[in-house]
Amino acid sequence: MRFKTVELPYHVYIGEGEISKLGKVLESLEVSYFLLLTDSVVKNLVVVNLRNELAEWDYDMVIVETAKMEEARKIMLQSGFSDYDAVIGIGGGKVLDVSKVVSTEMNATLISIPTTASHDGIASPVASFKENGKPISISTNPPSAVIADLSIIRNCPIRLLRSGYGDLISNISSVRDWQLARDLVGENYNEVAASIAVMPAQLMVSKADELDLTLPPHLLMLMRGLIMSGVAIALVGSSRPASGAEHKFSHAIDYLGYGNGTHGEQVAIGTIIMEFLHERHYGKGNWELIKNSLEKVNAPTTAKEIGLTKEQVLEALMLAKKLRKKRFTILEAINPTKEEFELILSKTGIA
Ligand SMILES: [Zn+2]
């Protein structure tokens, strides 16, 4: 029998005041010397309050300026490739992505301490950078520990929480794409990873009527879902459970450089479109449920709200069909025409 070794976060803490567990986590992971990466805002708002937690540890702190490969290299050079046992990333996507690359390159344990809940990169083994204005993904090791302190995350802009919600519910259409690939082209499908990715999303969508992302139990649910997305990705060693055609659409927008939407806002609108296609062609999917739930949390559901025109959305959809063709999705299955996309945009009220 053959088993595959997978790396998953060993310590996961989500809740109020959980940052106080940092010392315990460091001890358990046998860390004696670490590199702390953060940004200047988080340093002044969060890291300053960690004096007690950090006092007895030997560490260096570096401020992350940009989410680029070059930045990760610069940090490694600056630190003289010291013998860190761990890299601790405290911050949003930019800091965590750079932390993932630095810890992987330096062969150090990663401890992820998110200060936002804007996407599922918190616990995933993938770093997303923009190089020369174009999005790229880099495979990294997953974090060994994730400490999500809701009393810190609650203070991030509400738009980021709504974006995180969008990225979470996009798992509904990405898992549907995965099932389509299993059924039509015989792709390997992992039921456990698919369930881990999709169940928290379905739970939140089903509760959409009462959702308020600032309420502690709902924020907890969101955070748990985003971390589980990352775990699902780590489990199969691919973003498959959390990235389908709706992500291709978002990547296309990024390539074209259109609009002002966040990752989560773009994939959420993509999810409405792809759910429509699934429903229309295969009788599975519920775009109205997705749209209603986004409206309930006040996330954008129209092109205009994220600075896109109808023509730009259509161009992005046509480009999405050409991206990453090997990842079989609803776009590869039915190869929709521009006219069909136009019809969907008008029926869903997106543009
Ligand atoms: Zn995503």
pLDDT (tens digit per residue) in 160-188: 999 999 999 999 999 999 999 999 999 99
Ligand 1 ion: Cβ-proximal residues, 5 Å cutoff? 167
327-344 residue pLDDT tens? 999 999 999 999 999 999
Distance between Cα 28 and ligand 1 center (Å):
31
Q: To the nearest whole number, what is the mean pLDDT of the chain?
A: 95
Distance between Cα 120 and ligand 1 center (Å):
6
Instruction: Give yes or no for residue 306 having a pLDDT over 70.
Output: yes
Q: Which residues pair with 109 in a beta bridge?
A: 86
Distance between Cα 40 and ligand 1 center (Å):
25
The per-residue pLDDT for 7 is 82
The per-residue pLDDT for 259 is 98
Q: Are 276 and 249 in contact (CB under 8 A)?
A: no
In order, the DSSP letters of 163-213 are: HHHHHHHHHHHHHHHHHHHHHHH-----HHHHHHHHHHHHHHHHTGGG--T
Give the other-Cβ count within 10 Å of 145's Cβ: 25
Instruction: Give yes or no for residue 256 having a pLDDT over 80.
Output: yes
Distance between Cα 46 and ligand 1 center (Å):
26
The per-residue pLDDT for 257 is 93
Over residues 300-309, mean pLDDT: 98
CA count, 13 A, side-chain hemisphere, 346: 6
> Exposed, middle or buried, 230 (CB in 10 Å: 0-12/13-18/19+)?
buried
Instruction: Give yes or no for residue 1 having a pLDDT over 70.
Output: no
100-135 residue pLDDT tens? 999 999 999 999 999 999 999 988 999 999 888 788
Distance between Cα 113 and ligand 1 center (Å):
18
Domains and CATH numbers, the chain: 11-153 (3.40.50.1970), 158-348 (1.20.1090.10)
Over residues 258-285, mean pLDDT: 97
